[in-house]
Structure 1
Amino acid sequence: MYAKYGSMEKALQVFDRMVERDIVCWSAMIQGYASNGLPKEALDLFFEMQMENLRPDCYAMVGVLSACARLGALELGNWAKGLMDIDEFLLNHVQALP
């Protein structure tokens, strides 16, 4: 909620206090940073998430690719795109539909 309304400081405070962080929390923060004009922070958090051995979902990847676009980081964007297994992302999306 805080990220959606542009208050990334408050969002980070909530995130930092969480005992358990699932992929939804990480993705929300990455997207929040990317959509609020903080692409470096989005990428830093993405790399931190990877160090926690969490596999990104399509929402995290949209945030990462958006951050790369804002930074003009073509090589990093291509690397991030390469992380995605398009078939797996499509399968997960189709399974989530009602």
Structure 2
Amino acid sequence: MKKALVLAAALALAVTPAAAQESAAPSASVQAQSAVVTTAQAPSIFVSRDEIRQRVAVAEAEREGAQIGSSNWWYTVAAIALGVVIALLLID
């Protein structure tokens, strides 16, 4: 049981930096587009249909630019493999 816990802890430690990098770096073009949308209108609790359409268009443009099988996925795989190697070294 102890070996399984050590393996799980090593995997969690190895994957955490890769996951943090993936979630912390939104593309600059999306940030620029969202800045244009928010500065054009005053904040309100009532959202117009045009604003919703603009947000949907920005989200769709971001998805079209996303690449399936990007390098972030490979970094995650490499982090998991590294975690397995570290766990195996700690077990022995």
TM-score, normalising length from structure 1?
0.26
- Higher percent of residues as helix: 2
Return the structure number with greater relative CO, CA threshold 8 A, min gap 6: 2
